[in-house]
Amino acid sequence: MIDYTGATRLFDDWDRPPGEPPETPGGPRESMLRAIVVDEEDGAPIADAKVTLLVGANEQIQRRTDADGKLVIAELPEGSVTVIVNAEGYKRRQITLPTSTDPDAWAAIELRQTEEQRKAKIIVRGLAVHIADETYVELEATGERLTTKQYIERSRGELLRAAPHKNELVRAWVDRQRREELLKKLEERGIHPEVLASLLNREDADLLDLLSSIAYGTAVRSRDERVDAVLNRDAAFLSRFGDETRPVMEALLEHYRQAGLADLERGEVFRLPPFDQMGGAVGVAKRFGGVDKLREAVAELIAHLYSREAA
């Protein structure tokens, strides 16, 4: 068995007996989000777009738009939610939208086709990324404007200051608490891995591989490659799970393939398909014989995703 320091901290925000509801944002849940996802160029609705709502630090909701590009999500807290939209043939978009009790309040989310190179602006926690004939990054807090090359070089410098050697970055990354501290430190200095992934057109990459490539010049591997390694090289690991539990592990791998590591570390993932069809967190935990055994299985799965770094 592969183990890493800090693996037992997985599901800290979900560490409670099965059946107890996960922690949710305070206040009444009487608001809704009504949105329509459309093509920026001609206003045509985009069907089957994947929409992810980040309601709070520990709550994620996923839906897909209908044939008219619409979706309605109820029982949301008053205020605003972060919305991430992905659709085939379009650039990923992240936006903050207000929730409302008004049944006529609809928000239009415009997506830009991937082949377009016209000016765009994406706001990511105080960072503006403009994509034009010459891409540049603008740090809104200071007004500083950097070319893509300058921003990547700055990111490299900050990464090397935080982790002078690759093994230090790996040790921090596989420990959830240390990884969160590292990402917070980088964010305070204007370095956002998701922006780097967008600028380098590598949204498919594992963020550890992406940061390692920038800091130390290593090859960038996709999440697909890491998943395939577990499915093939570590087939014996998955074969230990039975008919009830192996589908859970395989579904978790698919969630990592689509959304990255953080999705595996949130108990909220068990509200999403296909886990909702398994009875949610309660039903999934029962398959493993309890919350503790489920947590251990997820921690071991993450360890296998990074087993090459253990060598």
Cβ atoms 94, 81 nearer than 8 A: no
pLDDT at 50: 93
> In this model, does residue 103 exceed pLDDT 90?
no
| Whether pLDDT at 218 is above 50 | yes
Kindly indicate the confidence band of residue 310, based on its pLDDT and cuts at 50, 70 and 90: very low
Structure token digits, residue 179: 């990884």
pLDDT score, position 283:
93
User: Does residue 217 surpass a pLDDT of 80?
Assistant: yes
Q: Which residues contact 118 (CB under 8 A, 6 or more apart)?
A: 112, 132
For position 215, what pLDDT does the model report?
96
Question: Coil, strand or helix: which one is 98?
Answer: strand
Instruction: Give domain limits for the chain.
Output: 31-112, 131-216
pLDDT on residue 117: 36
User: How far is 4 from 9, CA to CA, in rounded Å?
Assistant: 11
61 has pLDDT over 50: yes
Per-residue pLDDT at 187: 85
> What tokens does 5 get?
């320091």
Beta bridge partners of 32: 100
Kindly indicate the confidence band of residue 182, based on its pLDDT and cuts at 50, 70 and 90. Answer: very high
* 136 in Cβ contact with 147 (< 8 Å): yes
Structure tokens at 264: 């595996």
Distance CA 144, CA 125 (A): 15
Q: What is the pLDDT of residue 261?
A: 85
Nearest to residue 5, comparing CAs of 306, 261, 223? 306
Q: Which CATH number fits domain 31-112: 3.40.630.40, 2.60.40.1120, 3.40.50.2000, 3.40.50.11540?
A: 2.60.40.1120
The Cα 72–Cα 75 span in angstroms is 10
d(CA 274, CA 295): 18
Judging by beta carbons within 10 Å of its beta carbon (0-12, 13-18, 19+), is residue 160 exposed, middle or buried?
middle
Q: What pLDDT does residue 69 have?
A: 92
Helix (H), strand (E) at residue 81: strand 80-86
Q: Are 88 and 82 in contact (CB under 8 A)?
A: no
Tokens encoding 84: 């991430």
Phi and psi based region of residue 75 (left: phi greater than 0; alpha: psi -120 to 50; beta: remaining): left
pLDDT tens readout for residues 109-162: 999 887 543 444 444 555 555 544 456 777 666 667 788 888 999 999 999 999
Positive or negative torsion for Cα 100, 103, 105, 106 = positive
CA distance 148 to 210: 15
pLDDT at 211 over 50: yes
Cβ-based neighbour number of residue 23 at 10 Å? 15
pLDDT band (50, 70, 90) for residue 225: very high
Q: What is the spatial distance between Cα 151 and Cα 120, in angstroms, rounded to a whole number? A: 17
Token reading at 56: 């709070």
Residue 46 tokens read as 């985009």
According to DSSP, the β-strands at 144-147 and 93-98 are: unpaired
Percent of the residues in the chain that have a pLDDT greater than 70, as a whole number? 80
Tens of pLDDT, residue by residue over 78-100, are 888 889 999 988 888 988 889 98
* Of 140 and 180, the one with more pLDDT: 180
Between 139 and 257, the higher pLDDT residue: 257
pLDDT tens readout for residues 9-21: 444 444 443 434 3
Q: 38-56, pLDDT tens digit by residue?
A: 988 778 889 999 999 988 6
